[in-house]
Structure 1
Amino acid sequence: VATLILMVNEVSISVLAPEISCTTNTGTITITAEGGTAPYEYSINGGTNYQSRNLFTNINAGNYNIIVRDANGCSAETTVTITQEICCTLTASATAPTIECNQANGTITVTTSNGTAPIQYSINGGTTYQSGNIFNNLAAGSYTITVRDANDCIVTTDVTIAQQLAPNLVITNPAAVCAPATVDITASAITAGSDPNLTLSYWTNANATTSLPNPTAVSAGTYYIKATATNGCETIAAVIVSVTDQPNLVINDPAICAPNTVDLTAAAITAGSEPNLTLTYWSDADATQKLANANAIAASGTYYIKAVSAAGCEIVLPVNVTINAQPNLVVTDPPAVCPPLNVNLTAAAITAGSDAGLTFTYWRDAAASQPLNNANSINAAGTYYIKATNANGCETIQPVTVSVLQGATLRTTDPAPVCSPATVDITLPAITAGSDPNLVLSYWLNENATDALNNPRAVGRTGTYFIRALNADGCQNIQPVRVVINPLPTITIEGPDSLCLGLNTDLIIRFTGQGPWSFTYTDGSQSRTINNVGGNTYRLNVGPNTTTTYTITSVTDRNCTKDVSDENISHQLWITIPIDGVRLPPVFTTANTPTQLQGRNIGPNYNMFNWFPPLGLNRYNILDPIFTYDKRVEYKIEMRSEAGCVTVDTLVVQPVNTTEPGLKPAIYVPTVWTPNGDGRNDRLFPFTINIIELRWFRVFNRWGELVYETSTLGAGWDGIYKGKIQPIDTYTWTAEAVGINGEIFRLTGLAALMR
């Protein structure tokens, strides 16, 4: 049915055109007009024909153009379609053969008629369709098949797939058992109520593919029984086997020491077991002989505890009781000792006769609660205790009595020190004043009193000696006494043998002994005392004007004084007179030519030299240095004696044949030369200073014969004339030269030839 309302020029229309039933051939159209001006005219063919009635009958299915026109000529127009119901003539039926038991291979075949192809089939209520009319691999049961043709006509049909009946298998799960018990699932009670004549088999899985090897003795778990009927049909059902675990009973074997007993009911025996067990105690493993004294077992052995859980399961386990014997401790009291000796309680003799392998500890009380820290050196009388523990941990405690006799009281006072050669009497009562009376005293060199002192009344050597005191109980006391016999101090004097007049020197005084020291000496005219010398060496400064002997007459150290006036401890100091210095003859030499200089030798005691300035010298601290220089030098030669006397000579060294600005021209000829071929002073020649020309230098022998002549500066005669060595003699020389200032020099002189 379709209804259309259209407003056209104030005219509105609605159309009712119901669907034509499949059992009739025509239908109707009803038009309703509103608005406009009545009367209305109605047309269903687009205005070709109008009628005054708004109902059109005997109308075939199809499309119609509806127009309504009012009295004013206003109109409204619409279209409408009349449909006709299609009548479904489709029919369907289905068949399904019976399937075997335990199978799901059923087939449904659908048969249709009077439908419009193509036909479609559904087995799930029309959710999905298939084109084929056969459904395969179906399980037994009822199905509704839906069939639909091309006109969407749908019909349903019901069909049942029948199946041969499976055997009736009734399973009753067996009652739970206690481990280690097992269950026989082949027992008839397990399948009581099932069909008769079934063949039963036993499996570990629900598909019955893995057989159960021992169905008569299975443990906890789910197993499966397959029942097969005579027609071959079978069914599988699960059977659940419950095995309750044994109680978890933990046994801790006890071990104690006699005379103690063991309480098997103590919680420690079964510590670690599961809670809430009911425990009973037995003499045998089958738990048939009840243990009467489970809380006070006095004998070693094996006993049994049965534990029953809340589930009623039980277990019986052995408990081994060990009661170890007490150690055998034999204690022998040590013999009495005298102070300061002590007793060693750890000595083997104290516990001789006891069990071997015991561990001993030592205590002040019988309960062994106060340890004895000095068990190996007991010096107080009393009762002490020894605890012996064996390898099993068993122990016993025994007393031991220590006896300490009355000791001898010996007090010693060291005697006052004396000076050698005095001796000390250590038998004097003052030495042992304050000691016990009636002691027997003896005197020794060592603290063990094994080496006797032969002369206790006259001890002459510093050292520690020992006095032993013995009382009536036989107890002894050994005390040291220190004897000090101080050695006398010694003194020596030493110093230089001589001293230059006017100087001072130190005399060295040396001491032995213990400082501080004092000493007295004399210089022959008076005595003097020097006090509080801290070191063992003293420097006595003296400066006599004449030779003097210094003599020590006494010396004192911290402890002793010694008179040394008869020991001739003295030192003589000689006074020497200093030698005046002189000006030595000048030395002429060629510039930069090594020339040995010679100082004055004024005696063997003058053995220290110093040339100043040291210019041009190879050494400045010897008597005869080598001069190698090109300038004039005036040397001060300081010569010092062992006595401290100092003499200073002066020596001028003048290089010749040199030009030295500021010096007056001059010529010097040595008075001696030594042509012996040693390279020193081998030629006789004039030394020139600021000379520009040597006109001649001539040498004549004592007969006036000319033996040498030259005009060359620096050339000289070597003492050879006509190829012969000339004799030692005095020769005359003459020279004429011109200075740089034009001055002419004419000189003559004598020179001695020495070999």
Structure 2
Amino acid sequence: MISITGECGLPPYSFVWNNGSISSIISNLSGGTYKVTVTDAQGLTKKKTFKIHEPSAINLNVSSTDVSCHGDNDGTAKANVHGGNSPYTYLWSNGETTKKITGLYQGTYTVTITDENGCTKSGVAYVEEPTLLQITNTIVSPDPAHPGKFRITVTATGGTPYNNGYRYRRCNHSGSDCTSWQVSNVLTNLNPGTYQVKVKDANGCIAIQTVTINSPGCMMEPSEIIAMEVDNLPVEPTHLLSIRSLEDPAHFQFTSLHPNPGKEYAMVFWNSVQNEEITIRVTDLTGRTILTRTIEAIIGQNESLLDMSDLATGIFVVSIQNLHSIQSKVWVKTD
């Protein structure tokens, strides 16, 4: 707005502006140059020039940082303002009135900026959170690298993984006496007992699960087939009872069978000198086949986990066979 009054000369005065107005007051003006000619009653004139400066538009950029762990409230949002006329005031949708707000949960946060002239600008910040980091599965099995010991294989999902996955460690049952964080998801060389298995992601979020390794009792490594005399052995026409060579180390070596005796499972370990097809067969003492599994073995150490939970209590023969030989060990199922 521009307002002028006449001085000296003889009133009344008349006003003529370059925008066509004839009033002493002009308003609702944009930035620019305005000229006025004032004439008194005697026809004397006076000219005046005014310049109105227009501020630049308010430029608002809203940035945010996401929540580190699922359900936490360490997110932030910040309003970055340029243009207009400072100072600025801030009003966020959660009631905060500072440039930066902290302690945020996942959600949407709006901010309105007001400059010294009352001009406003609004923006939005989106604070996200990762999915829940959790341990979805743990498998306990004998540790082939440490006879008589066990290992725990851990599967985790969610969170914010490192480029090469998660980090893993095990602690005692109370959560202390922990190992160092490792990249491998297999925790090895474990005795029977209760452990806390921990998984960490790139944001430092941690998932914990308690795993108990039960003592298998006496560990046996039979070195030969048990021969038993069975009276009145029934053989159906569809059954074939045969005896074959039990050892041929030139092709593979049946190294161990854990746990033995056992209840729910048996882990078979063998070494192969070539890539070959191996058949694992479980039979009872009458020669009846209970379970058969065919595996593509690789050169070096191999292993296979057998589910024995459906077998009745008793003595069974576990055999490993290729095209040239067969090797067997006795496995005892307990209650």
Q: What is the TM-score when the length of structure 2 is the normalising length?
A: 0.42
Which protein is bigger by CA-based radius of gyration?
Answer: 1
Q: What is the TM-score when the length of structure 1 is the normalising length?
A: 0.22
Answer 1 or 2: which has greater strand percent.
2
Question: Greater relative contact order: 1 or 2 (C-alpha under 8 angstroms, separation 6 or more)?
Answer: 2
